[in-house]
Each structure stands twice: as structure tokens, then as C-alpha cells.
Chain A
Amino acid sequence: MADRTAADPAASRKRLALLLLMAPALVWLVGLVVLPHVELAVLSLRARVAPRVYEWSFDQYRTFVDEPLYWRTFVRTAAMSILATACTLAIAFPAAWYIAKIARGRAKTVLFVLCLIPFWVSETVRTLGWMILLRESGVVPRLLVDLAITPVPVELLYRDATILVGLVYTSLLFMVVPLVSALESLDDSLIEAAYDLGGNGWSILRHIVVPHAAPGIAAGAIVVFMLTLGNYLTPTLLGGKNSLWFTEQIYAQFITRFNWEQGAAFGFLLLFLSTAIVWAGLELTGQRFGDVMRRA
């Protein structure tokens, strides 16, 4: 009996401490993440029938299916994002390989830090750089004229390839860092053994390197894909009016047209696409979400 009365205040103090520690997390997650998304879901599932009178309906989602502009933009955004992720992987892999496996000592550290530096600068600044390089009066078109490759300056902005360059550039860091750490943990002697057993570059890459680096590749690809899909700045500035990026549709509905119901539905579609592809990527490579996020 005496034992219980002694334990009870201690136990209730412990509960109080737990509640106090949990309060900030609950305020944050419920107030800024869960409830806002519930509100967004409610918005997307209603239609206005008269001023300030709403009823439940799937109208917003039906508009998305019926209007080719909307779903084409959606599909295009997804396809371009996958393409940009693949390009980023292809460009980042050799560089990550060099940093992890070939560079030694100080050179290795310096190269790795050099990779990080451009990303300390805001995306706005980096995009400004690309605009100065690529627009009709910019550096590259001028160079092409000087080298007599084109007779007059050509406009290099507002093309799909330009958007792709911008997206890949913005994403490189998020691919290089997980790749370097995955490749560094690969023991060189495994590659040497494979070589001694008659493997060549391709077969070693396929059977030794890629299986070992798979978690890093998956982490990088997932993060790059998400960031690309949700990007707004790069497609609008480098692609102009032709960019047709889905986030622009969300912005247009929410801010320009003040049609929040439609915008909310678009937001959910983007969230669904992003989650679905991340989930598929994790399933394909047998990864767990928590591990990937901690690595990235």
C-alpha cells in the first residue's frame, strides 16, 4: 500500500512530463499539418451551389478529367519529373564515383564541399544565372553567333530542354550527397576481386556497384523526384508561358482565380501522385520510408 502511494505521484509526474514534451509536437503536427490537409480535402470535395452555400460533390475532380488542359499538364509534369530524375542520376553518378572512389585526401574533401556550395545560394539566384546565360540577348546565344554556329542569336529560354536543364541543375546536390555516401561504404577489394575474376566495367557496375549503392540511388531519386514535381520557380522562369507545370495550375486556381475548391482538388492530385511514385520507388527497391528520409 505504502509502495503504491509512493509510486503514484511519481507516475503522474512522469505522465505530466510526457504530456509536456508531446505538446509542441502535437501543436505542430495537428495544427499545421493534419488539420490543414483535412480542410484541403473538405474544400476539394465540395461545390458552390449559391453564394455561401456548398454541397458535397466530385465536381472538382470531374473537371480535371473532362478538361484536357488539366490532365495533360498533370501527365506532362509527371513525365518530365521522371525524365529529370533519370538525367540527374546519370549526370551525378560519375561525379559521385570520382569523389568517393578516385579522389584522395584533401582533393576529395574539397571536391565534395565544392558540390555543396552552389546549393547554399538560393534557387532564385541560380535561375537568374541560367536566364542571363540562355536568353536571346544572353551569353550562350551570343557565343553561338561568335563561333559562327548560328547566324543570329537564338532564344534558348522557353523550351522543354531548358526546363530540364534547370531542374537537373537544381537537383544535383540531392543526388550527389546520398550517392557519395553509398559509394564510399563499398569496399574497394570487392571491385578488385570482381576484376580478378574476369569482370569488366559494365558487369562490375551491374552486379557489384549498383546493388550496393541501391539504397543511396533510391534515396536520391525519391528526393529529386519530389522536389522536381513540386517545383514552381524553375519551370515558370525558364519555361515561361509554355512550361505547363502542374504547380502553376494550383497557383492559378488558388491565387489568380480564387477558385479554392478546384485548387484544393489539384493539390490533392499532386500529393497523390507524389506519394504514389515515392511509394512505388520504395517498394521496388525494398526500402523503408523512415530510413530513406534519414539518409537524405
Chain B
Amino acid sequence: MIPSLPRPPLSRYATAAYVAAFFAFLFLPLVVVAVFAFNDANYPAPPWRGFTFDWFVGSGQRRGLFADAPLLASVATSIVVAGWVTVLSVAFGTVNAFLLERTEFRGKSALSLLMLAPLVIPGVILGISILAFASRLAQFADDWWGLELDFLRPGLPLVVAGQFSYIVSIATLTIAARLKRFDITLEDAAFNLGASRAAALWTVTLPYLRPALIGAAAISFLMSFENFNTTLMLVGSDPPLTIMMYGRMREGASPVLNAVSLFLMVASAAIALVLMRRPAR
């Protein structure tokens, strides 16, 4: 059980073996994806035929990642969507945090529960409900005012709205948790020293919230970039990366998917390292 109790060697070895197997299980798929990005074959499968960079830089018959315009365009789409979702989620999340921590009003506990609801609604259902509602609004605008509101049809604005609808819950939780621990007398001190409300907010409260804001932004970006379920229901003619990869994986795999995956792994590992090196205050 625990180290301070006598443990027979057999149980110690069994535990160690289990933990090793557990981590092997965790990393096996990722290692396989990375390795076959460099295999000199047209199909990501054994046997190993030698090392190549074709799936990154190749062109013509073996179109690598950097020559695959649709794939690169989908990466760009994902970045744009994730950028919007991040900005909106952090902005709304900050205001929500102040609402939850600094104000009292009737129905506050109901509202704070409702803010958690999007986290328990399956992503597919968030997607179809927003799709149906937006289409109703578009129909309404068309019937009454003869307006063609394209942004209410499946496409990137709806994808942003769908992802935002639940990611902002997470941003709110993250930022509110930090605001809760804020010592309100610091703001009073700023007022005593003659600061205006805006100045106190800008120079005292927001700097204190900074780690939570950065954390919320990173989580929002990542969750948006990885989102599949909600996006699938709302996507129009320009697919983000996850949808693009899904489509190609159904058609049959090319190692270029491994290449783009490896690229993603390196990018998210870099973000993780940067975030973790930042001292958590």
C-alpha cells in the first residue's frame, strides 16, 4: 500500500510494472503517430522503409504538409476560430467572475448553476440546438424584413458561437476562483490613495488576476483548437483542422496526417512548457 507499511517485494514489482504499463498505454498512440510521420512509405503502416522528410516538405506525388494547401488552410481556420473564442471567453469570463464574486442579487445561485450547465450538455447537442436556433432567427429575419443573414447559416461565426457557449463556463470558473482569493482591502487602499475605480481596477485587481487570465486564455485556445463535436454540427464550407483530419481519416490515411499531428504535438508541448515555467503565484 503506502511506503511506510511493509510491502513484500512481489507487490512492489507488480506496482512498478503496472505503472510502467499504464504510461506505455498513454504514450503508445502518440509515439506511433510521430514515428510514422518519417516512414518512407505511402501509407502509415509497418514495415519501416527508411527515414524521410517527404511528408513535411515533399511535393508532387508525395505532397507533404507544407505543400498541402487545404490542410494548411484548415490550420489557419482553426487558429482564427480559436483566437476569437479565446478573446470572447476571457472577456465574458472576467465580467462573469466580477458578477459572481462582487455582487449580490436575487437568483444569483440559480444563475451561477446555469453558468455550469453548458459543461454537462453533450457537445453534439449544444451544436444542434445553436444550429436550429440560428436557422430560426435567419428564417425570421428573411420572412419579416427580407434580410439574408449569412452569419446565421452554418459557418465559422456559428462555430465560434458554439465553442464559446461552453468554453466561457471554464474561463468563468478559472477567473472567479482567483478573484475569490483577492484581498479586497488592497482596492480600498488604492481608493484611499486617491485612485479612481478604473485606475484601481487597472493597476491593482487586473494585475492580480493576470495568471488566471493567461491560464483561462491558454485553456480556451486549446479547447477550441481541439473541439470536434460542436464544430461538426456547425461547420460550413471551410473546415477547421479537426474536421479536415476526420474527413481524411475516413477516406484512408496518408502520412501527411502524421506530419500535421506531430506538428501539433510539438506546438502544444511548447505552450505547455511556457505555461509551466511561469512561476505559479
Note all chain B residues with C-beta closer than 8 A to A255: 233
Q: How far is the CA of A94 from the CA of B225 in the complex (A)?
A: 31
Q: How far is the CA of A120 from the CA of B30 in the complex (A)?
A: 11
Given contacts A32-B164, A133-B29, contact A270 B272 (CB under 8 A): no
CB of B65 within 8 Å of the partner chain: no
Q: How far is the CA of A76 from the CA of B36 in the complex (A)?
A: 35
Given contacts A120-B268, A271-B121, contact A32 B136 (CB under 8 A): no
CB of B173 within 8 Å of the partner chain: yes
B54 to chain A, nearest CB (A): 17
Note all chain A residues with C-beta closer than 8 A to B232: 232, 251
Note all chain A residues with C-beta closer than 8 A to B111: 25, 29
Note all chain B residues with C-beta closer than 8 A to A43: 132
B108 to chain A, nearest CB (A): 10
Given contacts A36-B130, A123-B226, A129-B30, contact A94 B272 (CB under 8 A): no
Name the interface size band of chain B.
35 or more
B46 touches A142 (CB 8 A): yes
Nearest neighbor of A18 in chain B, beta-carbon distance: B103
Interface of A: prevailing SS = helix
**Cβ 8 A contact of A232, one of B118, B124, B241, B268:** B124
Note all chain B residues with C-beta closer than 8 A to A102: 2-3, 15
CB of B149 within 8 Å of the partner chain: no
Note all chain B residues with C-beta closer than 8 A to A172: 26
Nearest neighbor of B16 in chain A, beta-carbon distance: A98
B89 to chain A, nearest CB (A): 10
CB of A250 within 8 Å of the partner chain: yes
**Cβ 8 A contact of B128, one of A24, A118, A263:** A263
Note all chain A residues with C-beta closer than 8 A to B120: 226, 274-275, 278, 293
Nearest neighbor of A196 in chain B, beta-carbon distance: B5
Q: How far is the CA of A254 from the CA of B230 in the complex (A)?
A: 13
Given contacts A21-B103, A24-B95, A118-B27, contact A294 B45 (CB under 8 A): no
Note all chain B residues with C-beta closer than 8 A to A250: 124-125, 128
**Cβ 8 A contact of B272, one of A117, A125, A142, A267:** A117
B40 to chain A, nearest CB (A): 16
Given contacts A39-B132, A232-B228, contact A124 B246 (CB under 8 A): yes
CB of B64 within 8 Å of the partner chain: no
A237 touches B19 (CB 8 A): no
Note all chain A residues with C-beta closer than 8 A to B124: 230, 232, 247, 250-251, 267, 270
CB of A87 within 8 Å of the partner chain: no
CB of A47 within 8 Å of the partner chain: no
A40 touches B129 (CB 8 A): yes
9-residue interface stretch from A3-11, A57-65, A187-195: A187-195
B1-29: which residues lie under 8 A (CB-CB) from chain A? Answer: 1-5, 15, 18-19, 22-23, 25-29
B214 to chain A, nearest CB (A): 16
Residue of A33, A94, A204 most packed against chain B (CB within 10 A): A33
Nearest neighbor of A125 in chain B, beta-carbon distance: B261
B96 touches A24 (CB 8 A): yes
Note all chain A residues with C-beta closer than 8 A to B36: 132
Interface of B: prevailing SS = helix
Note all chain A residues with C-beta closer than 8 A to B228: 122-124, 232-233
A271 touches B125 (CB 8 A): yes
9-residue interface stretch from B55-63, B187-195, B199-207, B250-258: B250-258
Nearest neighbor of A229 in chain B, beta-carbon distance: B122
CB of B179 within 8 Å of the partner chain: no
B71-107 vs A, Cβ < 8 Å mask (1 yes, 0 no): 0000000000000000000011001101100110100
CB of A212 within 8 Å of the partner chain: no
Note all chain B residues with C-beta closer than 8 A to A98: 15, 18-19
Nearest neighbor of B121 in chain A, beta-carbon distance: A271
Q: How far is the CA of A252 from the CA of B117 in the complex (A)?
A: 25
A37 touches B129 (CB 8 A): yes
Given contacts A28-B168, A121-B30, A251-B233, contact A127 B19 (CB under 8 A): no
Note all chain A residues with C-beta closer than 8 A to B123: 230
Interface residues of A (CB under 8 A from B): 18, 21-22, 24-25, 28-29, 32-37, 39-40, 43, 91, 94-95, 98, 101-102, 104, 111, 113-115, 117-118, 120-133, 135, 137-139, 142, 169, 172, 188, 191-192, 195, 201, 204, 226, 229-233, 237, 247, 250-251, 254-255, 260, 263-264, 267, 270-271, 274-275, 278, 289-290, 293-294
17 interchain pairs (CB within 8 A)? A28-B168, A32-B130, A33-B117, A40-B125, A111-B23, A124-B242, A125-B33, A130-B29, A131-B249, A135-B45, A139-B46, A188-B2, A191-B2, A229-B122, A267-B125, A271-B122, A275-B120
